[in-house]
């Protein structure tokens, strides 16, 4: 099976004044294409830090991170930005849609920034993504006019805009009611079915069985976990 994400003794330490805080102890990890992974743990356990390292949002203070065969350590900020745009899709807990752009424009923006998708098909593709998320009818609305669930589905569509191999979501359902949370999780499952690696940080311990693998973090340390065979 093809390795998509490889962390080799990757750790992250922050300095707060003279005090050193270990957010993530050095850990080694390999995730393969098409894996659906949950990262669980209490607040401050290092979930977001782990996702940040995988997405290139943050750099490890020790070890290396390789995603899709690309070693992130050696990339410049601009290269990292381009890498994220093409290889990684990110979904945030608070949706983080650009408030001044419509739902459709939010997705086109992601494609415009990276320019990996031909210009002529970007709009059509964006509409297709919104359609697949069930929010095509809201395409021309500003985010402030959408419900939380709708916003998060637009955010997932945006994350998929450049057809990334990896999808990272930090507490994507944390701000949604149960029904909307379920709809969004189902969308992630569809992504996995399409062959993408999906990693979700969550502190919910319900329905962990739907994930192929569950990584448990406590105080920045990766705990022994169960692994299931991808469906």
Structure tokens that stand for 52 in this block: 């940040």
2-26: b (≥16 Cβ within 10 Å) or e? eebbbbbebbbbeeeeeeeebbbbb
Minimum Å gap between C-beta 100 and another protein is 4
Judged by CB under 8 A, does residue 113 bind another protein?
yes
Question: Which whole-number Å values give the CA distances from 171 to 14, 48, 120, 135, 226, in the listed order?
Answer: 22, 9, 34, 21, 21
16, 43, 144, 209: which one binds another protein (CB under 8 A): 144
Per DSSP, 33 falls in state T
Minimum Å gap between C-beta 225 and another protein is 25
Judged by CB under 8 A, does residue 215 bind another protein?
no
33, 61, 66, 96: which one binds another protein (CB under 8 A): 96
Q: Which residues, numbered 51-90, are part of the site for another protein (CB under 8 A)? A: 52, 55, 57-58, 77-78, 81-82, 84-86, 90
By three-state DSSP, how is residue 109 classified? helix
Judged by CB under 8 A, does residue 127 bind another protein?
no
Please state the φ and ψ torsions of residue 178, each to the nearest 5 degrees.
Answer: -65, -40
Residue ranges binding another protein (CB under 8 A): 52, 55, 57-58, 77-78, 81-82, 84-86, 90, 92, 94-96, 98-102, 105, 108-110, 112-114, 140, 142-144, 158-159, 161-162
């Amino acid at each position: 099976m093809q390795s998509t994400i490889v962390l080799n003794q990757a750790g992250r330490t922050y300095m707060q004044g003279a005090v050193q805080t270990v957010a993530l102890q050095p850990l080694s990890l390999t995730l393969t294409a098409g894996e659906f992974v949950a990262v669980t743990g209490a607040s401050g356990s290092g979930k977001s830090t782990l996702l940040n390292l995988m997405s290139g949002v943050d750099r490890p203070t020790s070890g290396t991170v390789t995603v899709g065969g690309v070693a992130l350590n050696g990339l410049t900020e601009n290269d990292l930005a381009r890498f994220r745009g093409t290889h990684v899709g990110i979904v945030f807990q608070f949706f983080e849609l650009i408030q001044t752009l419509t739902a459709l424009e939010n997705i086109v923006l992601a494609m415009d920034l990276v320019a990996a998708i031909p210009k002529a098909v970007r709009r059509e593709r964006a509409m297709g993504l919104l359609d697949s998320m069930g929010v095509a009818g809201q395409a021309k609305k500003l985010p402030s006019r959408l419900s939380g669930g709708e916003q998060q589905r637009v955010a997932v569509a945006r994350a998929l805009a450049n057809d990334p191999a990896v999808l990272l979501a930090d507490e994507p359902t944390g701000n949604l009611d149960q029904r909307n949370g379920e709809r969004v999780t189902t969308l992630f499952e569809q992504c996995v079915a399409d062959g993408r690696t999906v990693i979700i940080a969550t502190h919910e311990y319900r329905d962990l069985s739907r994930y192929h693998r569950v990584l448990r973090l406590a105080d920045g340390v990766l705990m022994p976990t169960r692994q299931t065979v991808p469906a």
